[in-house]
Copies of this chain bind each other. A is one copy, B any other.
């Protein structure tokens, strides 16, 4: 709950107050907003929706006007996000400071004094946790793990032996880092495990969603690059190299030894076959199945994936296919009749 005047908000976001300096007690999207709430409109086309909102005030972009008290600023959505942050719960309530007495910390683990370790965490031999990092309940760090500074690992996260997290990494509940990937050799008595002796490196500012998994490399390193955001229930196979500042949506799977460039975005439920290379800046539509390399900058969609425009053109043509069959049959009958003497 907020306790601010609209003028204070204008000052915080570097905007201009237009209208009454009302009291603001919360922040919410247009549809959720109640009386006293601040909301935002980022595009003039959405201004009409304000009439149905119960919001008490609004953040607007340059040149926009509204019937209710407003703050006009350069980037209303970003300004709104800044105000939202004031409503986050006190982190000390979610992650009480200090090492909980029930945590099992190996004698030679090195947990920074300014870290928070929740109840029943298990921290293995030789593992380090940097200052400002917060571990929820039941987090399991294997031996020889390195967690950087200001990371947040939510409840039930598992990081297996030898894996490394950079700084400001967020792992949501149930994330599993460093499990053995799907590597087997056919043998006389069935599939035989190929030992997976590599590790995983999660670089700075990466966020990984609930129940997502990143497999350790067979040899070498599986990497998720700086700033990349990974949604829930995503699978990253062994030896995959994900670049920097990518955004992968939920339930996507990347098979072993793929390379994903920088700034790549993927919709949900995308699947990528093993050893495929995805170039920088590629956009992949939801549910696409990728079986071969994608050149930098392309936008692809479909199963199997093609250039997005071609996929939509084909999808449109497919709806005309049953009729096309009838039309061709008609042409054939006409041609037949013509040939008959």
Assess whether B185 is in contact with A158, with CB atoms less than 8 Å apart.
no
Q: Is A319 an interface residue (CB 8 A)?
A: yes
CB distance from A49 to the nearest CB of B (A): 13
Partner of A27, one of B197, B210, B239, B267: B197
Q: Is A56 an interface residue (CB 8 A)?
A: no
Assess whether B193 is in contact with A207, with CB atoms less than 8 Å apart.
yes
Q: Across the two chains, which residue of chain B brings its CB closest to A82? A: B195
| Known pairs A87-B197, A118-B122; A325 contacts B331 (CB<8 A) | no
Instruction: Identify the stretch in A3-11, A12-20, A62-70, A226-234 within 8 Å (CB) of chain B at 4 or more residues.
Output: A226-234
A279 / chain B contacts, CB cutoff of 8 Å: none
Please indicate which of the listed interface residues A78, A136, A304, A318 has the most CB atoms of chain B within 10 Å of its own CB: A318
Assess whether B289 is in contact with A195, with CB atoms less than 8 Å apart.
no
A31 / chain B contacts, CB cutoff of 8 Å: 220
Q: Is A81 an interface residue (CB 8 A)?
A: yes
A144 / chain B contacts, CB cutoff of 8 Å: 89
Q: In the docked arrangement, what's the CA distance between A77 and B185, Å?
A: 8
CB distance from A25 to the nearest CB of B (A): 13
Interface residues on A, range: 35 or more
| Known pairs A104-B102, A219-B28, A227-B189; A213 contacts B197 (CB<8 A) | no
Count the copies.
3
Q: In the docked arrangement, what's the CA distance between A163 and B94, Å?
A: 13
Assess whether B154 is in contact with A156, with CB atoms less than 8 Å apart.
no
| Known pairs A174-B174, A191-B229; A210 contacts B179 (CB<8 A) | yes
Q: Across the two chains, which residue of chain B brings its CB closest to A80? A: B194
Task: Give A18-34 as 1s and 0s: 1 = Cβ < 8 Å from B's Cβ atoms.
Answer: 00000000011101110
Assess whether B88 is in contact with A195, with CB atoms less than 8 Å apart.
yes
A317 / chain B contacts, CB cutoff of 8 Å: 321-322, 324-325
Assess whether B334 is in contact with A190, with CB atoms less than 8 Å apart.
no
Which residues in chain A, 227-248, are within 8 Å of chain B measured between CB atoms?
227, 229, 231-233, 235, 237, 239, 244-245, 247
